[in-house]
Each structure stands twice: as structure tokens, then as C-alpha cells.
Amino acid sequence: MNFSPINIMAMVIFLFFIFFVTQWLSKMRKQQVDIIARRNTFFIISGVVILICLGSLIVKGLNLGLDFTGGTIMEIGTNPDVSTQDIEKYIKQFAQDTKSDKFDNPKIQRAADTEVSKQVIQPTPTPGEAEDFKRYGDETETELPTEDVTYRRFIIQTRELSSEEVQNFKNFLKQQLGNMQDLKTDTIGPVIGQELTKNALIAILITLIVQLLYITFRFGSQFRYGIATDIALIHDVIIMVGMYSLISHPADSPFLAALLTIIGYSVMDTVVVFDRIRENLKLMKEGTYGEIINMSLNQTLTRTAATTLTTLLSVFALYYFGGDTLKDFALALFIGITAGTYSSIFIASPLLILIDDFAKKQESQRVAERRKKQEEEARLKSEKRLQQKAEEKETKKEKGKVLTEDYPTPEETPEVSQGESRKSAKKSERKRRR
């Protein structure tokens, strides 16, 4: 297997990275890292990366593969010594000769193993056999000999070609390659590509909604766990899609499969951390909410990192030794697993602190509003009570004034005899009764 210097350097760097992380984790087992105290730093890092990814998606867009945009897929068989670079060179040469832009950025996949097929050997007929063949045509019952032919299969994907363009291209390849087998040709229309894009978006949306509900009920109907998980998943999706836009790598069906795989992988990792947080909340009666979460992260940090490293080793082997067919799928997995592990530790769990602080703030505001409302109601009741007392007092004052007018006081009454006073009182009483 041939490796370029860049591939060898990448392999060495990745192996050194795994060794460094393994040594760091062995030392971290006896230490407590205050991840929650540094959560703003992690949020800033994620924010910068997301802004870069979104900027790339806005400026460059996503390089959609033929599975989404439509195109022509051709399978051919060639001699085993033909390489991918040879096919790519012939495609460029044909595009220059025909001045066609339909062969820009073609996708070429080379089968890892050779295949064997039966090929009919066409013998050179004698003059008499040739005369019989002309006379009877296809009705001859002569069985022609066959031989085993070893070939390597290539899958070539281009933009949508017409039947004439496909035939001209294959004829050109036969001239360049000599013994070439035409295995299969399929055309994917743009309507099918649009339908695939729509179904992909619907699948991602349904996945996010179902996992939000599952996480919420899984952790005792606490909505905060589901919200934190979905935010972390959106974080992973944006980074994964944005990275593909940055490197201008075509996004096709393997990319979509890897994207849905990463969503499930990231949720699994996040659930493990949340389970430990829930257990520690029941066991630990002392300590703040942030301290319990930080301790839970430290307890699961080694396990999470070790699981991720072993998974990345498998993805690493799949990328370099799995052939061209699996390389795109492995690359998407590598980006997604890295982003998913980061979000599970440094994004999802710290988000619980923010959600808890927000919930406490909302609760304190509700308590303050409730207290203010009660105080307002008490003030209104007090004012109403004082007003009622004032009205009662005013009513009594009015009644007292009427009585005073009917029965004048001794100071206002002139001195009269006792008999006249009695007569006057009786007259007043009769007037009042009338």
C-alpha cells in the first residue's frame, strides 16, 4: 500500500497525540480539574469555531455530492495495475478535448480487491465456418470457449451526462485503457437529490425532537437535561457540516450516514455523564450544584477519553486502510467524534449550570412578583379599609349635625321658664314626628 509523505506524517502525529493524551489521562486520575470554573473559556472556543463554520457555510457553501445534486454513476472494470490517478488523468484529458465542464471535480472510487469474471474468447473462424455463420446467424449452437479475466472495479461519478456523452466517454476510456469492461451506468436526477436533501433534514429534526423527549423523561421529567443535550447536538452538527465546507469536501450519502451516527454517539456519551451527575446529586448532600457536576465530570473524564481514543483508532485504521470507498465515511466520523466528545464534557454539562442559574433567576423573579402582588393587594385592602372608616366617620358626623339642629344646646337656647321649655320641647318632638 502506497502512502504519501503527508499521510505518513499525519499517521505519526496522530499516534503521538494518542500517546500524549493517554499519559495525561493517567496523571489526571488523581487530580481534580475545575472544568466548571473554566466553562466560559470553553464556550468562547466553541463560539469562535461555530462562527468560523457558519461563515464558511455562508461564503463558500456546502459542496454537495452527486447524491444530493444528481449526476451519472459509471462502473467500469480495468486491468489491476490501473490506479486512481490514471483514471483521473484520462478524465481531465477527455474534459479538455471536449471542452465540457460536466467532468469538474469527479469522484473516483477504486475497489480494494480485484474481481474475476468469465469472458468469451472470440475465435478466428475459418472460411467455411464464416460461411456457415453467415447462413445460420445466431441459431448456431456452437459453444464459445471462455476464460477467467481479473480486473479492478472503479466507480466514477460526474455531473449528469446524456447517453451520447456517456458512450463517447467510455469509448475514450477503452482507447486509453485497452481492455475495459462496461459494468453499469446509472443516472440520478436532481429531483431525487432534492428529495434526499429534504429527507435528510427531516431525519435530523425528528432525531433531535425524539432525543429531547427521551432525555427529558429519562432523567425524571427534567427538561434541562434534554435542552442541554440538544444544544450540544446542534453544536456538533454545525461543526461537522462547517468543517466539510472549510475543506471543500463533497457531502454525500456516507457523510449523511456519519452525521446521524455522530448524533447517536454524542448522545450516548452525554447520557453517561448525566447519569453520574444524577447519582451524585442523590448521594452528596453537601456542595453546590456546580461542585457536584464538576466532580461527576472528573469521575467520567478518563472513561470518556479512553472510549473516544479507542474509537478514533478504529476510524484512523478505516481511513487509511479501508480504501477509497470508506475514506469519506471515516473522515466524517473522525470530525464528528472529536466534536461530540468535546461537547459532552465541556459544553453539555456546563450548560446545566447556566440553565440552573436561569431557572433560579426566573424563580426569584416569580417570587418577587408574587410578593409584590401580595403587598399591592394588602395596600389596596388597607386603603379601602381606611376609606370605609372615613366614610363611616363622615356619616356619623352628618347625623350628629342633624341632631344638633333639632335639639339646640343650652348655650344657644335663651333663658326661659321651665314650663315654656317643656312646651317648646313637645312642639319640636311633634314637628319631628310629622
Q: What is the pLDDT of residue 213?
A: 85
Higher-pLDDT residue of 345 and 302 is 345
Per the structure block, which three cell numbers stand in for 195? Answer: 428529495
At 348, which CATH number?
1.20.1640.10
Mean pLDDT of 171-189: 82
Is residue 202 located within the same domain as residue 348? yes
Residues 6+ apart with CB under 8 A from 89: none
Asked whether residue 401 is domain-assigned, the answer is: no
Is residue 197 located within the same domain as residue 251? yes
pLDDT tens digits for 124-157?
A: 555 555 555 454 444 444 555 555 667 788 888 8
Query: Where is mean pLDDT largest: 199-203, 219-223, 393-397?
Result: 199-203
Are 125 and 83 contacting, i.e. CB atoms less than 8 angstroms apart? no
Which neighbouring-strand residues pair with 186? 73
pLDDT at 33 over 60: yes
Q: What is the pLDDT of residue 278?
A: 86
Is residue 294 located within the same domain as residue 311? yes
Higher-pLDDT residue of 310 and 401 is 310
Per the structure block, which three cell numbers stand in for 240? Answer: 461537522
Residues 103, 104, 110: CA angle, nearest 5 degrees = 70
Is residue 142 located within the same domain as residue 184? yes
Query: Domain range for residue 163?
Result: 71-188
Is residue 326 located within the same domain as residue 227? yes
Asked whether residue 196 is domain-assigned, the answer is: yes
| Average pLDDT along the chain | 77
The dihedral sign for the CA sequence 328, 73, 154, 93: negative
pLDDT tens digits for 322-358?
A: 766 678 788 888 888 888 888 888 898 889 888 888 8
Higher-pLDDT residue of 33 and 255 is 255
pLDDT at 17 over 50: yes
Cα–Cα dist 209/199, whole Å: 15
Cα–Cα dist 240/335, whole Å: 6
Report the share of the chain in percent with pLDDT over 70: 75
Q: Which of 138, 161, 188 represents a domain boundary (last residue)? A: 188
Largest Cα–Cα distance of the chain, in whole Å?
178
Cα–Cα dist 326/117, whole Å: 24
Q: Which of 151, 172, 188 represents a domain boundary (last residue)? A: 188
Per the structure block, which three cell numbers stand in for 415? Answer: 333663658
Higher-pLDDT residue of 167 and 67 is 167
Q: Which of 164, 188, 212 represents a domain boundary (last residue)? A: 188
Confidence grade of residue 179 (pLDDT, cut at 50, 70, 90): confident
Q: What is the pLDDT of residue 426?
A: 63
CB burial readout 128-167, b (16+ within 10 A) else e: eeeeeeeeeeeeeeeeeeeeeeebbbbbbbbbbbeeebbe
Asked whether residue 337 is domain-assigned, the answer is: yes
Is residue 263 located within the same domain as residue 205? yes
pLDDT at 109 over 70: yes
Asked whether residue 426 is domain-assigned, the answer is: no
Q: What is the pLDDT of residue 413?
A: 47
Of 78, 106, 81, the closest CA to residue 91 belongs to 106
For the chain, the domain total comes to 2
Q: If DSSP states are collapsed to H, E and C, what string results for 118-179?
A: EEECCCCCCHHHHHHHHHHHHHCCCCCCEEEEEEEEEEEEECCCCHHHHHHHHHHHHHHHCC
Cα–Cα dist 75/114, whole Å: 14
Report the share of the chain in percent with pLDDT over 90: 4
Are 296 and 225 contacting, i.e. CB atoms less than 8 angstroms apart? no
The dihedral sign for the CA sequence 382, 387, 388, 394: positive
Is residue 204 located within the same domain as residue 158? no
Phi, psi dihedrals of residue 188, rounded to the nearest 5°: -105, 120
Confidence grade of residue 52 (pLDDT, cut at 50, 70, 90): very high
Q: Is 185 helix (H, G, I), strand (E, B) or coil?
A: strand
pLDDT tens digits for 68-91?
A: 777 888 888 888 788 888 888 888
Which residue bears the cell 493524551? Answer: 21
Higher-pLDDT residue of 108 and 2 is 108
Of 62, 65, 69, the closest CA to residue 189 belongs to 69
pLDDT at 44 over 90: yes
pLDDT at 46 over 50: yes
Are 259 and 67 contacting, i.e. CB atoms less than 8 angstroms apart? no
Q: What is the pLDDT of residue 372?
A: 86
Asked whether residue 243 is domain-assigned, the answer is: yes
**Which residue type does 174 have?**
K
Residues 6+ apart with CB under 8 A from 220: 278
Cα–Cα dist 43/40, whole Å: 5
Residue 34 DSSP label: -
Per the structure block, which three cell numbers stand in for 220? Answer: 425524571
Q: What is the pLDDT of residue 140?
A: 47
Query: Which segment of 138-152, 196-210, 268-282 scores lowest on mean pLDDT?
Result: 138-152
Is residue 164 located within the same domain as residue 284? no
At 116, which CATH number?
3.30.70.3220
Is residue 54 located within the same domain as residue 105? no
Cα–Cα dist 140/133, whole Å: 7
Cα–Cα dist 350/297, whole Å: 10
Q: What is the pLDDT of residue 221?
A: 67
Mean pLDDT of 219-233: 83
pLDDT tens digits for 389-421?
A: 887 777 777 766 655 555 555 554 454 445 555
Asked whether residue 405 is domain-assigned, the answer is: no
CB burial readout 392-412, b (16+ within 10 A) else e: eeeeeeeeeeeeeeeeeeeee
Asked whether residue 7 is domain-assigned, the answer is: no
Mean pLDDT of 105-124: 64
Is residue 236 located within the same domain as residue 320? yes
Asked whether residue 176 is domain-assigned, the answer is: yes
Higher-pLDDT residue of 161 and 178 is 161
Report the Cα–Cα distance between both ends of the chain, in Å, rounded: 130
Say how many residues make up the chain. Answer: 434
Q: What is the pLDDT of residue 146?
A: 58
